[in-house]
Each structure stands twice: as structure tokens, then as C-alpha cells.
Amino acid sequence: MTMARLGIKIAAILFSAGLVFTGVALFCHERGIPALFIYLITLFVTGAAVFILIRLFVTPLHRLSEGMEMIKTGNLDIRVGMPARDEIGRLSRDVDRLVEILRESQESLYRMEQENAGLRMAGVDLRDREGYFHRLFEFANDAVFICDFEGRLIDVNQKACMLLGYSKKELMKLSFLDLYAEPSLTRPQAAFKTGRETASVRYESVFRRKDGSCIHVEVSSSPVDLKKSIMQSIVSNITERKRIEKSLRESEEKFRTFMETASDLMFITDAGGMMTYVNDAMANRLGYLKEELVGQPLRDLFDKESLDEAKEIRQRLLSSGENLHQLVWETKTRKRVWGEMKAVGHFDEQGRFQGIRGIFRDITERKKIEAVQRLGEMGKMAADIAHEIKNQLAALTMRAQICLLRPSLSDELRQDIGIILEQGEHIDDIVKRLLKFSKPGEGQFVDVQIHDAVTQVLRLVEKQYATHNVRIEKQFASSLPHIRGDEKQIQEVLLNLLGNAYEAMPKGGRIGIVTSLAGDMVRIGITDSGMGIREGDLDHIFDPFFTTKENGTGLGLSVCFGVIRAHRGELIFESEPGKGTTATILLPVSGG
């Protein structure tokens, strides 16, 4: 259609040019214009026609032809569009639109090729990744089960088959819930329910293998696709760990049983010296509840005399690792407990000090026995000394008495000799005490009613004590069995103890006497409200010649201790400075 219109235009131009030429020729012929002029006019008209043809048709067509040639070479960036509104202009614009479409198609095709290449690469990478993850799944160290939320198995790895002894085909026929050996499936079902609601759940259970044996497992389940209700469960065999834990528990139980039933006092501290464990024996011996001791510093148990040595324990442990000490602890009621403490330091893998583990062996009774043995040895020595002194004293006293018979003796010398005889009597009294100390068991043992013995002693001292504002309060048991002993010796002990109580209250006070039956022993307690005994002195009151009195001999309580020991009894002192002292006599009942 466009070419037809183009031909019509060309024909119209040529026809118009012919008409102009004919008209001009007729006009010139009628006017007699020369032929040259007509020729020139004809040439002009022809040139103008050719110019118009070139301008309107040849040039645009040439430009269009060049553009097409460039397009054929693949250059889709060329544009031949011309502003003319004729058919050639529209044709050029159509060509440009066609080129634009071709260029867009080419770009789209290129993008598609790029995308296809990417997809091909992604496909290769996806297959590689799929193979990688499949190998991870198949060769994982733990058993892996893929199932839905109802427990139907979708896939399992090789470890799962090995763990349970099934082939994969056999295992896939089972439900995940069929693997549990527990009689109740509450736990795994709850785990599946929890898996729907949370990211993961972990629990321990027991699986049954194909051969019927059971294994302990730890199951970690987590959803991998909530839309498809798929869950992954990783199952670890913890049978060996459970066996080790059981062995550790049994070993710990044995250790704890050993610790709790041991007669020795056992403890553990942390690096700061705070007690983290004590056994029953330690709590009972010291009079505490275990909860009272745990969390308290170990050093609080040491008495003042042992405190300095206790401070050095850690340094010794750091240098030698182990130490044996003789120390003194205090009970809750401030009674002293002698013991041998063996302690070892506990260190971590880096060698850092972590605390002390120690055993404290109570040697209080051994100390008492040693004291008794020392008293026995000193008693023998005292008897030898007493005999020697008694013999020399008898000779000295006799010579002094003879001197007094001389009539020529001056009054001054008589007075000096009187002093010698007076001091001789005092020395004789000490000698007698030494002899009693050395042989306290000598006496006549009969059945004694203790109330009668106490009452007779009180009659001797009550009036004297009352004149010094010391009152005696009695609290006797309604009836007591007889004891077996020497009544005079027991009365001497009572007189000595009452005398000590009286002397402890120079400004007056109260003495309480209480009798009671304690098992197969008769108990006599004498309590004063005096000044008490200093803590350091309490351990030495039974030592011969130990005294805190200005004029004391230090033998009174030693003799008392020996007498009571000879009666198979006990003499116990308890005192609190500033508040008073209680002396307790325990004597076995007759026939006991």
C-alpha cells in the first residue's frame, strides 16, 4: 500500500513537471520567445523536479537502506526514524519500532539465557548440597529419625539401624513410638505435642532393640516442617553414660555411708576455709546441727590455744600437701575436745588450691587416761617424797620439842621453836595429803547412802557459810540407790568441793547441791555463783601442785580426782568465768 502511494506521488510530480514544461513552451511559442530560453526553462524545471525527487525520495530511501544494512549486522542501537509525515517517514518509524522490539527481545533472550545458566549451576549446586546433606544424614554419629507428628517414620539413617539392630526396611515399618521400652508413652507423646508448639524438646528415655535388649537414650526432637507436620529426632545412646553415673552414685553413696557412719570427725572446706560438708559424728560430738556448721569458717571451732596453729594449716598444706596436727576444738557449749587432725589440700587441674579435706580423731579420752597415768606416776613419786619428808619431819619435830623442855631457853627462842613446830604441823598436813594422793583407794568400801553422807557434811559447814552470806540450796532426788565406797573419803571430797565453792564467793552467794540418778550412776552436782575458772586453767585443775590460790598446795582437787577414780567414778568440772562453776560427781550404784 505504501509503495503504491509512493509511485503515485512520483508520477504526480513528473506529470506536474510535464504540465509546467508544456505550459511554458506554449506560452513562449505564442509570444515568439527564442528556443534557447525555452531550453533553459526546460532545464530549470527538470532540475527542480530531480531535486524534489532526490529530496523527497532518494535520500530517505538511501538512509533507510543504510539503516537496514546496519540492522542486518546485528546493530540494534541504530535508529532511522525521520520526522516526515509521509509514507517514508512512517516506514522509517516502523523500522525503528521493529528494531526496538528486536533489541528488547534480544535482551530478554539474554536474560533468559543467563537465568537458565544460573538455574543449571544452581541445579548442579543443589544436587551437590543435597548429596552433602544426605551424607551428613546417613553417616551422622547419632541416630536420626524423620517422622510426622503422629510418629510415622519417613526416613532413618544408618546409625539408627545399627543402634536398634534393624534393617532400614524393617525399621521403616515401625512407628517411632514403637521404639520406646517404657510401659507408658506419656513422655514421648508429650514431646510430640511440645514439638508442635516449640522449637525443640530434649528428654531421656529407654528404647528396646530388635533383640529385646534395652538401651538408655537421649532424644532431641525439633520440627523441620510445620506445614507438613514433619519432625526430626536425634537419638544418642547414653547407656554407658548411665552406667558410669550409676557407678558414681554407688561410689558416692559408699563414700557418704563411710563418712556418715565413721566415728572420726570428717569435714570438707572450700578455698576460703568455709565448711561445705561435715559428717554426723562431727555434728554430734560438737553439739551442732549439720546445717549450723556448713557455711561456717573452720577456724571458729578452734580454741584460743590452737587458733594460731590453725592459721598455719593452709600454708603447710600448700607447701607439703598433707599435715597431721594435735589441736583442740570447742563444742557448742564451749567444752574442749582434744584431737589429732589429718588434713590434705585439694587442688584443681591447674594446681589452684580448692580447699581442705580433713579427719579429726577425738583423743579426749586418751588425754584423760594419759592424765590419770601421769597422776599415778606422780602419786608414786609423791609417796616416796612424803615418806622421806615424814621421817625427816618427825626427827625435826622431836628435836624441837626436846628443846622446849630446857628451862634455860629464852622466851624469844621458845617463840621461834613454836613457829617451827607450827610449820611442821603444816608440812605434816601436806605430807598426809600427798599420801592420800598416792594411795587414794585405801579405805573400807561399804554400801553408802549418798544423802546421808551429803547431809553430814552440810551440818559441818552450813553455819560457817551462813555467817559469810553464803546460802546453801538443796534439791535431792526422792530416793537413790546405795553406792559402794568409803564414806569418809567421799565426805572429804564433798568438803573439798564445797570449800572451793565457798572460797570462790568472798562477797557471798549461793551454793546449789543437786542429786539424781543418771542411768546406773548416782549424780551429785555442786554449783556456785562465784567468779568461775579461767578457760586456760580449767584443763589443769587436776594437775598436782597446780593452784590459783595464794596459800593453796595444789593437791586438793588432785586428791579428789584420785578418790573418785578409785571409786570407779568421774569428777567433771564445768565453768564460765564471771558466772560460776559446777562440779559433778558420778559414782556407780552398788552392784553396778
Over residues 346-362, the mean pLDDT reads: 87
Q: What is the pLDDT of residues 167-211, one digit of tens each?
A: 999 999 998 888 888 755 555 555 565 555 556 788 888 999 999
Weakest mean pLDDT among 397-411, 474-488, 489-503: 397-411
d(CA 186, CA 372): 71
Mean pLDDT calculated for residue range 497-524: 90
The CATH code belonging to domain 262-362 is 3.30.450.20
pLDDT at 266: 92
Which is nearest to 200 in space by CA: 184, 218, 176? 218
CB-facing half-sphere around the CA of 51: CA atoms within 13 A: 6
CA 158/CA 134 separation, integer angstroms? 11
pLDDT of amino acid 249:
86
Percentage of the chain lying above the pLDDT 90 cut: 16
pLDDT of residue 6 exceeding 80: no
Return the amino acid letter for 22.
T
Residues 6+ positions from 331 with CB-CB distance below 8 Å: 285, 286, 287, 337
Dmax (CA) of the chain = 227
pLDDT of residue 553: 58
Residue 1: pLDDT over 50: no
Residue 95 to residue 100: CA distance in whole angstroms: 9
Tens digits of residue pLDDT in 266-275: 999 998 889 9
Where residue 523 falls among pLDDT bands split at 50, 70, 90? very high
85 against 342, higher pLDDT: 342
Average pLDDT of the chain to the nearest whole number:
77
**Most confidently modeled range among 180-184, 324-328, 477-481:** 477-481
Cα separation, 265 vs 267, in Å, equals 7
Looking at residue 52, its pLDDT comes to 61
pLDDT value at residue 20: 58
pLDDT at 72: 60
Q: Is the pLDDT of residue 37 over 70?
A: no
Radius of gyration of the chain (CA): 63
- Tell me whether domains 139-243 and 262-362 share a fold: yes
What is the value of pTM for the model shown? Answer: 0.45
CATH tag for 446-588 (out of 3.40.50.2300, 3.40.50.970, 3.30.565.10, 3.80.10.10):
3.30.565.10
Contacts of 215-224 with C-beta under 8 Å, sequence gap 24+, read 215/163, 215/239, 216/241, 216/242, 219/188, 219/191, 221/191, 221/192, 221/195, 222/195, 223/195, 223/196, 223/199, 224/146
Domain coordinates in residue numbering, the chain: 1-137, 139-243, 262-362, 376-438, 446-588
**CA distances to 180, 367, 541 from 544, in Å:** 80, 16, 8
What does the alpha-carbon distance between residue 161 and residue 172 come to, in Å, rounded to a whole number? Answer: 10
Distance CA 501, CA 509 (A): 10
Q: Is the pLDDT of residue 584 over 90?
A: yes
Could you read off the pLDDT of 428-460 as tens digits, one per residue?
A: 776 766 666 555 555 678 899 999 999 988 888
CA distance 31 to 21: 15
Report residue 14's pLDDT band, with 50, 70 and 90 as the boundaries: low
Hey, what CATH class is 139-243 in? alpha beta
Per-residue pLDDT of 283-325, as tens digits, reads: 999 999 999 999 999 888 888 777 777 777 777 776 666 677 7
Residue 524 has pLDDT above 70, yes or no: yes
